[in-house]
Each structure stands twice: as C-alpha cells, then as structure tokens.
Structure 1
Amino acid sequence: MNIILFDRDLRIFDHQPMAEAAKMGEILPLYIIEPSQWEAPAYSARHFQFVIESLEDLSDQIQGKGGRLFYSINEVEIVLEKLLEAYDSMNVFIHRSSGLLEKLTGWTEENQQRLFIYGAEFDQVSAKAFNKQFQSYRDEPCAEAPAKIFVPKETPSILFTDMKKIHQFRVKGKKIRFGQQGGESRAIETLDSFLEERYANYVENQQKPLPSSFSSSRLSAYIAWGNISVRTIFQRTTEKLQSCENDDEKLQLEAFLSKITARVRTTCNQPEHKQDTEVSKIKNEWNEEWFQRWLEGRTGVPVIDAAMRSLVKTGWMNYSLREMVTSFIANTLMLDGQKPSDALAQLYLDYDPALHDFYVQQITGLRMKKVKIINPIKVGKQIDPDGTFIRRYVTELEKVPVEYVHEPWLYPAFYQLGYPPPIIDVIKANKLAGQRFKSLTKKDESSGKNGGDETGQLSFDI
C-alpha cells in the first residue's frame, strides 16, 4: 500500500509525495493526530483549530478527485503497525518538512519498509551552497495535483474518515474568533490579495502595528502549516514582479522575496541549540505575577499590553512587536525565557518550531549573547506615534490625549483610568540588565569566544 502521511504539508498542489505516490496506483492519504504532539508545551487549541480547517479543505479537494482523506488519533508507530498488519508491505511517502520524519525513518528501517522523502534539503550547507540549491528548488516546476485519486475500499479500524471525531479531540488553550482560517484555498486567496493590491506599502508599513496587518503578506501561518509551498509563492510573486512597470512596486516585491529566502535559510540551517547556563545565572528569580500580567496585557506599559492583547485576540503580530514583547519579559524583567517562549508559541497561529526558537534565542542572548534590550516606550512612540494601535487594544486609554498615551502614568487623571501603573521602571531595569549581560560578554572576550551569528540581523516579517 502507498501511504501518504500529511503533517505540516496540508495541501494538494505542489505536494510531491502525493504526486509521486499517485503514479503508483492506489494510495492512502492519511493524517495522524498524535496525542503526544498536542500535549507538548508549545501547541494549543488555536493551532489545532487551524489544522482542522486545513484538513477540511484538504479533504474536500481529495474528494473532488475521487478519493478520501483518512485520519487516526494515536501515536504514529502504533498506526503504522496496524497498517502493516493489514497490507503486509508499505511504501510511505512524506515531505521533508514533516515533524514525523525522525520517527518514520527509524520505524521503516526497523520494519524493512520503504520510505520516500521529498522536498528540498538545505540543512547545514554554506551560504553559497544554499543560494544555489534554493534557486534550483524555486525554479523547478510545481508538482501538479493528481487528476484522479484512487483509495482502498477497505481500511483497518484504526483509521476513520468522520471529522466529528477530530472535533471531539481536546487540546489545551482556547480557540480564537478573529484569527486567520486554515486551508489551501484560503492560502491562495491570501496570496492573490497580496499580489493584487496589499503589497503596495509592504516595506513602508512593516514596523507599524496596524498598517502591517494589511500590508504584510499574512502568509506566515499558511507557510508554517504547509497550506502553500514556498515555491508556489516564489513563482507567483516572480510572475507579478516581471509584469510590474513601476520601480517602487518592484522594490516592494523584491523585499518580500528576500524575506521568503531568509525564512527558508533560517528554518533549515540552524544547529541544535543548547541551554546557556551562564545566561541562566544572571536571571531574576521566577515571578509568576509578572509573567501573568505580561501574558494578559496588564504590565502598565501600553505598547506591550496592546501587543499581547492583540496576539491573544488574533494570533498574529508583526516582528517588531514580537521582538519587543520577548525582550521585555526576558531582558527587561530578566525572567527565564522558556516559559514565555512556550506561551508565545501557543499564541502564534504561525508557530514554526525552528523559526520561533531561533528568534527567541536571538533576542534573549541565548544564541550569541548580544541581547536586544529594548525600551518599549521609546520604540512604541516610533512605530505607533499617535497611539492608534494602543487605543484599539488597551481600551482604558482610548480617551487619553496623544501626549500621554505611551506614558499614561504622567496623565493628571491617571488613577481614574482603571489602568495599572508599570510593574517596573523600564529605564532602570534595562540599565541593570545591560550591566548583567555585559559581564557575560566580558567573560566571553577573555575566553576568546566569538558571539557572532551570520543570520543575527534577519527579520521574519513576510
């Protein structure tokens, strides 16, 4: 039997495993819900909601070609054992982006079954080699969806096709009402709307909290869950770029493609990170009250609170805000970064493990000890000068004059607003944090360690 195991590749177009498997005849398209994965700290109900929406769209497309999408709620090894009992032998087709790759490699080798892995491989290559390989990948024709899909009439009882069972599976956290919906169809619609008009102010609006929610491509969640391939995005954008006559329009799209390339390089080229015990030594003792106030948007620092409240509501914010809230909890408040990292991962609808870990480590100094200690009041004034973003999400401040919206504690009637004072003096806290991190840098310099990082200055807005 030819088994196609979906994971973070929830689409039918430019899906090489499906295209190749279908050439061999009957196939079994399968998505396995592993309880162990969904119990992990970084995953939440909003991710599962997005996956369900993606599966519903994928199922419709497979049915439109005469097939069915099968599901199982179990650990992957158990499902494969049952399939092997039913079919005697199997060819397993997966995409290289699959989080199941390591398990499948071990299981297929041990059980002498064939595993076919598709997708570009860029791991641990030089910048020159990456550029050459990525160019080759993005220029190859996209894999067309099969014209017809044939699936087995009988399958083992461990599989099912009724989505109701999936809806009954419980994952920690709450769903969101105002986030993007998953699915390949919606991914294509989002790309279309970006290339038709939204890209016009892509560069100008990148750092602006509200304008960026329109001008950014908003494809990050669709890329993270594989609703659309990077190759599809690259080729469609290149076609649009070639038809542009305006130099400014070309600049916008070239910047976008540059970010797409940076994203691929970063997610594919990161060595395994080990916890830096020296950084841990300079952190404050854990303060659960501070953490909860940060998570709920009640720190008393308006732009931080607006960012966290918007993230809870929508599942997205631009990189400037991501950088700021991460720096605030880990570098200004000097709390251990792991629990905040997991909390942010649960909230980001576009959570991608490799990308998320990279930028958290980069911001907090775990990767290169060059931390980004950000003054959120100063930066808030730069990216949201009139306080529009703050007023939208911190409604306690919606009637505060512009000159006070970033520092409401200076407002004469502050204590009538019902908004908390800052949990910490940001200037003093940042100065102390700088001194602590500087002591680590001196240690590294004396020991001859190099803290540089080739991709340290990348931004991940797309």
Structure 2
Amino acid sequence: MKNVLVLFKRDLRVQDNPALALAASRDGAALPVFVAEPEAWAQPDASARQWRFVAESLEGLRADLAALGAPLIVRRGDMMAVLGGLCATHDVGEIISIEETGNLWSYGRDRRLAAWARGAGVIWTEVPQLGVQRRLVNRDGWARDRQAVMRQAQVPVPEGLRGVSEEPGSIPDARDLALAFDPCPGRQAGGRDGGLATLASFLTARGQEYRRAMSSPLDGAAACSRLSPHLAWGTLSSREVLHGMAARRAEVKGTRDGWLGSLRSFEARVAWRDHFMQKLEDQPAMEIRCLHSAYEDLRPNVPDATRLSAWEKGETGIPFVDACMRSLIATGWINFRMRAMLAAVASYHLWLDWRRTGPHLARMFTDYEPGIHWPQMQMQAGTTGMNTIRIYNPVKQGLDHDPTGTFTRTWCPELREVPDACLQTPWAWAETGSPAARRLGRRYPAPIVDVTQAARAARDRAFAVRRGDAFHREASEIVTKHASRKDSGAGRHFVNDRERTRRSKAQTPSAQLDLGL
C-alpha cells in the first residue's frame, strides 16, 4: 500500500480543498508538503512582503493539518529534490495537488516536475482549480461551466488523516530565501483566521459602501473586501467566498440600503478574476510577449532609467501618481482604479514597456496573482489588440477621486502648503514665485513629463498601430480565444465600462489590475 503526498502551492487551506480530500480517500498515509523554492522567490515578481503573508498562512495551515493528524511538512529547496527524497523515504506512489496558474517560471517548473514524476514512477494527479479550465479551446460556455462549479457544495474537510513520522521542518524567514529588505508597515497579515474575519467584516459591515467607494483610494481601503491576498494564496476559496455572499444576499433581499448592489458588483469582480486567470492559463507566454504582435516594438525595450526610477519610488512630480505609488509601497495594496492608473501612466505618459514596469508592481502587491496581473498589465498598456486604449489623466483622477486632497497630502506631505486649487498641479503654483512656492521646489520634484503633451504623443503612437486589415485579422483571432462571451454572469454589471470590438460580441471588463477586490 503506497502513501500519498499532498503538495500545497496556492491553496493554503484544509477547507474546500479537493486535493486534500482526494488524498484522504486513498488507503495510504498522507504527507502534506509545502516547498519554499529559493529559485521561485528569486524571480523578479517576488518580494518579502508576499513571502511573509505566505509564511503566516503556512503557520495556520500547519495547525489545521496537525489537528487532522498529519502536520504540514515544510522544506526549503528544489521541488524535485525535496519531493524525490520524501517519496523515497516514505514509499510515496502518488502526488496530488491543485492545478496552478502561476507565472512563466512556475509553468516551466511544473513541466519539469511532470517529467520527473514519470521517470520516477510516481503518479502526479492534478485536481482542477476552481474557475479555471486547462486545455480550453475557446470561451464558448466557459462562464456557464464556471458558474456550475461555483454553485456546487464545498468539499468537506476530511475527518482525519493518517500521517507519517517526519520532522515537520521550520518555516523559512524572508532572509532564508535571500529576499531583499522590503518594509511594508501596512501589509495585511496572512492566515485563514484573518481571511475569515476579513470576509465576515466585509459581508456584515464594510461592504455596504463597496459599490460607491471602491474607486476612492481613501474610502476603498475600508469599503473594498480586502480578500484578494487570501484568494491569491488560497487561505480562502473563491467558492466559499461566493457562498458566503449568497447567504448574505438572501438576508438583505428586499432592502434598499445599498447592500444588494454592492454584493452584485463584488460577485461580478470575483467572476472577472477567474476570467483573467483563464487568459494566462490559455497563453502562459502572455507574461513576456504582447498579446497582439503588432505592439512588440512599440515601446523601447531598454527603458528610460530616470523615468522608471521616479515612477517606482513615487517621485514623478505628478502628485496623485506619487501618492498612489507611495501608498502601495507602504501597504502592499491599493484599489483597482488606482492600480490601473499607475500602470497606464507608466505605459503612456512615461512610455515605458509593460514588461519593465510589471515586475515592480507585482513585487509591491501582497495580493499578486500572475493570472490577473499580466493580462491586466497588457490591457492597461494597450497591447491586447481587443481593448479600447485608456490613457488616464492623472490630474483629473486626483481631482475626481481625492477631491479633498486628503489622500494626496497623506502620502505626499511635501505638498501640505500647496493650495487646494493647485494640489494636483503644483507646477502651476510654483510659477507664482511666492516664498512658499519656491520652498516646494526644494522638497518636491518638478513633473518628469508634461502630462498633456505626453498623453497626446502616446495616443498618436498607440492608435497608429491599429490600422490595416492585418491588425484586425489578428485582433479577431485574439477575441475568439480570450474574450468573454455574452453568457457571462458578470458582464451585466459592467454596462458603463463595456467595450465591444467591431468584429465580436465579446465583452471586456473595466480596468482592475489584480482587481484589489
């Protein structure tokens, strides 16, 4: 009788975990394992803030598995070397895990793992993940199938597991993985208990204003669900979140206090989360190649180092952009509209290639989800060939979403003396030559680009690519493969942001970089 190894990746929970349930149904003993791979954490999209969230989540997972009879085994090292040793020591005949839609590195690692398992005579069983389908031909019926999965009952927690005698091992520190120093004082803590508390507070109190407040960088920090890191690392399953939301919707049915509209909007964004993850699952190279080939040489491959550095540090001299970036650096989170603006300003106003700016944003997001991040980076950079080009005006965004200036002044205290009328355009105030304006010039940088002129030049360059039959033929093929269909239950909630290509009835959602839920 062979034993079974349960490999945890981005599913750090015992609840609604089909891989764990399947392992529990086998006759052999179970080895729950998580491998902290130094090579994975050396990738340019990885950061210490992400690992600390994972490490805290592993602590909770270890306790939950111990209560079932099989504590979590944690090892640091190469995946195949670690699994090979454990399989040989404990007579493991099968490895079970949930399918992963990760970055291109993890895709390559899984291909190597599959080859290793075949050579070692070990069965590797991958259980489908919720909301994403492998080897999908096109999107016809995808939304219907996804909804059917989400309506199914959650997989129950096993009554118990028969473990093995094995040293559990310590959970590495960020320094053990050679991760760079990454202070993030406002980072959300990991762990399922925190995820459950966050879900409960959203469904019973904070979420009431979600629909109204989610676009505000100030109000959105409380009104948004803040579940995205828990969904990214799997301390909660999306199905369990949707079931909790359905129960709450039944409670508030018939009321007119804003709850129903907010819950519907949130449900739509959970659906769009899977929609974007499916894109990367279908085309893993989306992380490194423009979806539409016509955009490959649109921006310089070698970025302007001064512009890139200013954008990464929040020192562009464009107040709302800098405030959003500094907030993200300090907290690991910012609401979806501001994420989209940061990506778009980098791509258009600063004319930086999305492959050079995407890694920085990925590292800053505690809730980094590759399947959402890379399709959205391309969407905001306008390289998909099927989305409307959006060039955000960062001055207008500041006026619209921070009308009191509270958010901007919080994160850019150098601007505290700037009058409200000039807060988002301090260069105009500097021209007055007053003593206070002169002091500003010593504390806060001049804008790195002329916002209006840079946007105009970017628009001309970007739209020039979209001409000719060859462009539209390739765009049509991309729509067939990647665009959501009219049967999507989420689409009806995005009427104002819906875009249509002239060759398809497909729908595309509003800008939601990593969604930020």
TM range (shorter): over 0.9
- Matched-pair contact (CA < 8 Å) for 1:213–1:318: yes
Residue 93 of structure 1 aligns to a residue whose secondary structure is strand
Equivalence for 2:142: 130
- Which deviations, in whole Å up to 9, do the C-alpha atoms of 1:53-90 show, x marking residues without a partner? 11111112222333311111111111222123223442
Unaligned runs of 5+ in 2: 484-505
- 1:178 is aligned to 2:189: no
Query: Which amino acid is the alignment partner of residue 211 of structure 1?
Result: D
Counterpart in the other structure of 1:43? 46
Question: CA separation in 2, counterparts of 1:299 and 1:257?
Answer: 36
What is the SS of the residue equivalent to 1:149? coil
For 1:63 and 1:175, the matched residues in 2 are separated by: 32
**Corresponding residue for residue 100 of structure 2:** 97
Q: How does 1:418-457 map to 2 (within 5 A)?
A: 418-443=443-468, 448-450=473-475, 453=483, 454=506, 456-457=508-509
Residue of structure 2 equivalent to 1:79: 82
2:242 aligned with 1:234: yes
Contact 2:41 2:177 in 1 (8 A): no
Correspondence for 1:29 among 32, 36, 45: 32
- Counterpart position of 1:375: 393
The worse-fitting range, judged by mean Cα deviation, of 88-97 and 423-432 is 88-97
Counterpart residue number, 1:316? 333
Does structure 2 conserve the Cα–Cα contact (< 8 Å) formed by 1:130 and 1:265? no
- Equivalent-residue separation in structure 2 for 1:277 and 1:134 (angstroms): 30
**Are positions 1:256 and 2:266 aligned together?**
yes
**Does the CA-based 8 Å contact 1:194-1:217 persist in structure 2?**
yes
* Aligned partner of residue 45 in structure 2, secondary structure: coil
| Cα distance, 1:278 vs structure 2 | 4.3
Q: Mean alpha-carbon deviation: is it higher for 112-121 or for 297-306? A: 112-121
Q: Partner residue of 2:203?
A: 195
The code of the aligned residue for 1:259 comes to R
Aligned residue for 2:497? none
The answer to whether the 8 Å contact 1:362/1:456 transfers is: no
Give the aligned partner of residue 281 of structure 1. 297
Corresponding residue of 1:344? 361
- TM-score, normalised to structure 1's length? 0.93
**Distance (Å, rounded) in 1 between the aligned partners of 2:354 and 2:181:** 20
Pick closer, same or farther for the CA change 1:349–1:447 going to 2, 3 Å.
closer
Residue identity over aligned pairs, in percent, reads 26
SS of residue paired to 1:442: coil
Distance 2:377 2:410 in 1: 27
Q: 2:276 aligns with which of 263, 266, 271?
A: 266
Query: Which amino acid is 1:122 matched to?
Result: Q
Alignment correspondent of 1:145? 157
- CA contact 1:35–1:75 (8 Å) conserved in 2: yes
C-alpha contact (below 8 Å) 1:266/1:455 kept by paired residues: no
Match of 1:405 among 418, 423, 441: 423
Report if the CA contact (8 A) 2:183-2:330 is conserved: no
Shifted more, 442-451 versus 243-252: the winner is 442-451
Q: Could you tell me how far apart the structure 2 residues matched to 1:277 and 1:261 are? A: 28
Alpha-carbon distance between aligned partners in 2 of 1:346 and 1:391, rounded to the nearest angstrom: 25
Worse-superposed segment, 425-434 or 95-104: 95-104
Q: Tell me the amino acid that sits aligned with residue 202 of structure 1.
A: Y
SS in 2 for 1:182: coil
Q: Give 1:115 deviation, angstroms.
A: 2.0
Contact conserved, 2:343 with 2:380, CA < 8 A, in 1?
A: yes
Q: CA deviation at 1:449?
A: 4.3
SS of alignment partner, residue 4 of structure 1: strand
Distance 1:182 1:455 in 2: 34
Q: Distance in 2 between matches of 1:46 and 1:26?
A: 34
1:211 aligns with 2:213: no
